[in-house]
Structure 1
Amino acid sequence: MGKRKICVVTGTRAEYGLLYWLMKGIQLDPDLELQIIATGMHLSPEFGLTYRDIEDDGFVINEKVEMLLSSDTTIGITKALGLGTIGFADSLNRLKPDILVLLGDRFEILAAAQAAMIAKIPIAHIHGGEVTYGAYDDSIRHSITKMSYLHFVTTEVHRKRVIRLGEHPSRVYNVGAPGIENIMKLPLLSKNELEQSLGILLEKPVFLITHHPTTLGSNPIEGTEELLEALNCFSGATMIFTKANADDHGRTINHLIGEYVSKDPNRRKFFDSLGQIRYLSLLKYADVIIGNSSSGLIEAPYLETPTVNIGNRQKGRVRPHSVFDCSPETSDIADAIRKALHYQFKEEHHYKIFGVGETSIKIIEVLKKIQIDSIAKEFYDGEIL
C-alpha cells in the first residue's frame, strides 16, 4: 500500500500561515504524501504573488487554480467561484488525493469543496462550527461542514455546534486553533529586526490595522472611513496597515487606506502582505490590533495584545476579555481604542481558549489512521456529549 495522499488547498496569505505546520508535518511524515493547490490571492500580483512564499518555505505547489477576476463586485466574486470550481475539478482529477484538507470559510475554499464532493474525495475541514454574522463566510463555512467528512474544530463550543449540524461525534475533533501553533513555534523577530524589515520605527503607541469588507451588510465598507477618522485622534501613533482581502469592495477599502497612509508616510505604512513571521512579530509588539480580523480574537490574546473589533464581521465568534467590540462609528471606535490601550492582561480572564499549540500533531494522527470506506453520511440526531 502506497502513501496516503493528503492534498491541502490554500488561497490567502493568512490561511497559508495557519496551515504551515500541518503542511510541514505532512511533508515530513513517511506515511503521507503532501499535495498542494494554490489559488485565489496567492496568484494575484495585486496581493503580492504570495505563492512564492510557499515555494520559498520549501514546498512544491502541485497545481495552481486561477480564479480571481479584476472585479470585486458580487457578480465578480460569483463568477470567480464558478471559475474556481472548474479549475479544482481538473486539478483534483489529476492529483487524485485520498483526503482534501480545507481551512475556513472563503469562497475559494467553497469552490474546492464543491469539486471534491462531486468527485467523492473525503474533505477534512478545519475551523468549522464558528459563527460570523457579518459576512457570507458564515454560510460558506456551514456549507463546507455539510460537505466534509472529517472536522477539526478549535473549541468545545464549536465541536458541539458541528454535531448539531448533524455530523457524527466520532468524526469531530477538538484540536485547538492552528494559529496558536505559529505563536509557539515560529522564531519571532526582535523589535529592532522588525523595524528594519518594515522600514519604520515602532514608536508607541503602535497600531496594527487589518480591516476587511463586511460582506453581508448593506454597505460592505462600513466602518472604514469611520476607522480612519478615529485614528486621527491618535496622531502620534505608529500605524501599520495590511491590505483587505479579495472579497467584494476590498479594493475600495484598500484605496481609502492608501490615501490615508500617503498623508503621513513617516508614521504610517501599508503592506500587501506581511507574511506570518512579520505579522505575528508586529502583533506581539503592537499596543493594540484594530479592525475586524479573526486574528484579533484568536492569536492576539496569546501575545497579550488587546483588540478593537469593529462592527459585525466577527459577531458570534468566541472571544476573550481582551477584545473590545464597538460599532462602526467614529466616536465608538476611538473610545474602544482608548480602553484597549489601558487593558491589563490577567490570568483569571482565561484568554487562552484555543488550545496549546499542538493542532497539527493531532490532525496528522487522525489523517494517518482514519479509515474512510465511503463519504456517505447519515444525519446525526443523537445526544451531544
Structure 2
Amino acid sequence: MRTICVFTGTRAEYGLLRPVIRALGNESNAIVKLLVTGTHLADSHGATWREMERDDLPAYERIEVLMDSATECGVYTALGLGMIRYGDALRRMAPDLLVLLGDRYEAFAAAAAATVCNIPIAHLYGGELTYGAIDDAFRHAITKMSHLHFASTQAYRTRIVQLGEHPDRVFAVGALGVENIRTLELYSANETARHLNLEAGQPYLLATFHPATRSSKSAHAQLSALLDALDRFPGHAVVMTGANADAGGASINRLLVERAAACPQRYRFAMSLGTHLYLSAAKHACAVVGNSSSAIIEVPTLGVPSVDIGPRQAGRTRADSVISCADDAAQIVEAIRQALSDEFRRTAACSVNPYERPGTTTRIVRELLTQELANLSIKTFYDLRPPLPDPDAGAG
C-alpha cells in the first residue's frame, strides 16, 4: 500500500490535479491524503476549499498560512509560515510520496519542508519558463528538490534533464488542463451566458490578469493599460476573473471590482469561476485576454484566440493561436483587433496545441504507483555529455 499526499494551494492548480486525485483514489493499492492550503482558505480569493467539499474527495488537512495580504511582506511571511506548518503536517501524514504542481511560493515551501522530512517529491510541470514572474526561480528550485518529474512537453523534459535530473525519472506527459477540455462536458453557449449573467448571444472577452512580479511597472499600471484597451471594444462584454495572491494581486482585484461596479452593463467580475465554468467561458469567448498561463496552455485546444500581455509568461512555448504583445494600451488594442479578425479566428480554430498528449492522467498515476520508492530519495546529478567546453581553456 502506497500513501500519497497531494498538495494544493490555488484554485487553478486544484482544477488541474482533480482528475489525478480521483484516479489515485480509485486505486486499491493507494491511500490519498490532501494537504489544502494557500488561497483555498482565503475569503478574499473565494474560499475555494468549498469547491473541494462539493467534489467529495479524500480526507484532507487544511493548513492556514495567512494568504489575505497580497504584498511582498505577505508573500515571504506566508512562505516562512508555510514551511513550518507544512513540515508539521507532513510529519503527521507520513506519506511515501508528495505530489506538487507548478511554481508558486507555497509549493516551494512544501517542497523544502518535504526535503527536510526526507519525503520524495513528484513534481508536475518543471522545465517551463516564465521570465516575467518570480515563479520562474521557484519552479527550477522545486525541480532540484524533486525526484519524479512530469513535463508538459518534450522540450520541457529536455530542460529538466539539462538541470541535472536523470532522464529515467523525467516524463513528457502533456498538460492536465488540456486533458480536462477533452474529458469534461462543457456548458453550451446559452448555459455559459446564463452562469456569467450575460444575455444569450452577447459577444464577450474573457480576461485574467496577474501581477508580473519581475516587471518594473506597478500592478496598477499593468492592469490600467489592459482596462484602457478593453474600453475600446464597447461591442463586447468583458468577463474578468481575479488575480492570484502574488504581491500586487489585491490592488488588481480592487480595480476589477470597481470597474465591474461602475460599468455593470459591460463588465462582470468573479474571483473564481471554477474549472468547469472557466473552460466553458473560454470556449465561447471571442478571445481570451491577459497574462494567465491558461491562455497559452489550455485555450489553444478550444480553437479560441488568445492575447498574452506583457512579460509574465515570456519564455513559454505557444501555439499559433496566441498573440503576444507588450503591456501598453495601444499594443493591446491592436492585438485584440487581430484576435477578433476573421482571418485570425480561422488560424486559431485549426492551430496545434504543443501541450496536448493522450493519456496524461493515466501516465502520471501509473508512474506514481509503480516507481520504486526504496532508492527514490537518492539523487545524483546527471551530467550532459559531452561536457560544455571551458571558455578559459588555453588562456594564459
- For normalisation by structure 2, the TM-score amounts to 0.94
C-alpha distance in 1 between matches for 2:359 and 2:353: 14
Q: Deviations over 1:294-353 (max 9, x none)?
A: 000011100011111110000000001111111111100000000011113449975221
Residue 260 of structure 1: how far off its partner (Å): 1.5
Q: Aligned in 2, Cα 1:357/1:286: closer, same or farther, shift over 3 Å?
A: farther
Match of 2:264 in 1: 265
Match of 1:238 in 2: 237
TM-superposed CA distance for 1:255, in Å, is 1.0
Q: Which residue does 1:361 correspond to in 2? A: 362
Counterpart pick for 1:89 among 87, 90, 109: 87
Distance in 1 separating the partners of 2:224 and 2:19: 37
- What amino acid does structure 2 have at the position aligned with 1:29? E
Q: Residue type matched to 2:275 in 1?
A: Q
- Contact kept in structure 2, 1:213 and 1:244, CA below 8 Å: yes
Aligned to 1:248: 247
Deviation, 1:223, is 2.2
Query: What letter corresponds to residue 31 of structure 1 in structure 2?
Result: N
Alignment check: 8 A CA contact 1:177 1:357 kept = no
Q: Which residue of 2 aligns with 1:382?
A: 384
Equivalent in the alignment of 1:351: 352
Check the 8 A contact 2:304/2:345 in 1, yes or no. no
Change (3 A) 1:220 1:179: farther
1:338 and 2:337 matched: yes
Q: Does 1:306 align with 2:305?
A: yes
Is 1:11 paired with 2:13? no
- Which whole-Å CA distance do the structure 2 matches of 1:357 and 1:45 have between them? 36
Aligned to 1:167: 165
Instruction: Give 1:204-219 correspondences, 5 Å limit.
Output: 204-219=202-217
Preserved CA contact (<8 Å) 2:7 2:99? yes
1:6 and 1:97 in contact (8 A); partners too: yes
CA contact (8 A) 1:4 1:32 kept: yes
Aligned residue for 1:112? 110
Give the Å deviation of 1:204: 4.3
Where do 1:142-153 residues align within 5 Å?
142-153=140-151
Number of residue-to-residue matches in the alignment: 382
Q: Deviations over 1:204-223 (max 9, x none)?
A: 43100000001112234142
Report if the CA contact (8 A) 2:101-2:107 is conserved: yes
> Residues of 2 paired with 1:202 and 1:312: CA distance?
35
Q: Output the CA distance in 1 between the equivalents of 2:312 and 2:27.
A: 37
- Between 1:42-51 and 1:338-347, the stretch displaced more is 338-347
Determine the C-alpha separation between the residues in 1 that align with 2:24 and 2:185. Answer: 21
Amino acid at match of 1:369: T
Deviation, 1:68, is: 2.4
Matching residue within 187, 190, 193 for 2:188 = 190
Q: Which amino acid aligns with 2:379?
A: K
> Partners in 1 of 2:136 and 2:15 — Cα distance?
21
Evaluate the alpha carbon distance shift between residue 185 and residue 203 of structure 1 in structure 2; reply closer, same or farther with a 3 A threshold.
same
Is the contact made by 2:4 and 2:98 (CA closer than 8 Å) also made in structure 1? yes
Q: Deviations over 1:263-317 (max 9, x none)?
A: 2212211001100110000000001001000000011100011111110000000
CA deviations over 1:73-109 (Å, ceiling 9, x no partner): 2111001101111110111011111110000000110
Give 1:114 shift: 0.6
* Matches of 2:31 and 2:48, distance apart in 1: 23
Report the counterpart of residue 370 of structure 1 in structure 2. Answer: 371
Moved more, 250-259 or 220-229: 220-229
* 1:4/1:33 contact within 8 Å kept: yes
CA distance in 2, matches of 1:47, 1:202: 28
Report the 3-state secondary structure (helix = DSSP H, G, I; strand = E; otherwise coil) of the residue aligned with 2:345.
coil
Q: Which moved more, 1:344-353 or 1:144-153?
A: 344-353
Tell me the distance in 2 between the aligned counterparts of 1:250 and 1:239: 19
Q: Any idea what SS the aligned residue of 1:289 has?
A: strand
* Structure 2 runs not aligned, ≥5 long: 387-396
RMSD across aligned positions (CA): 1.5
Please identify, of 179-188 and 355-364, the stretch whose mean Cα deviation from structure 2 is larger. 355-364
Unaligned runs of 5+ in 1: none
Once structures 1 and 2 are overlaid, which stretch shifts more, 214-223 or 121-130? 214-223
What TM-score, normalized by structure 1, do the two folds share?
Answer: 0.96
Identity of aligned residues (%): 44
Residue identity opposite 1:247 in structure 2 = D
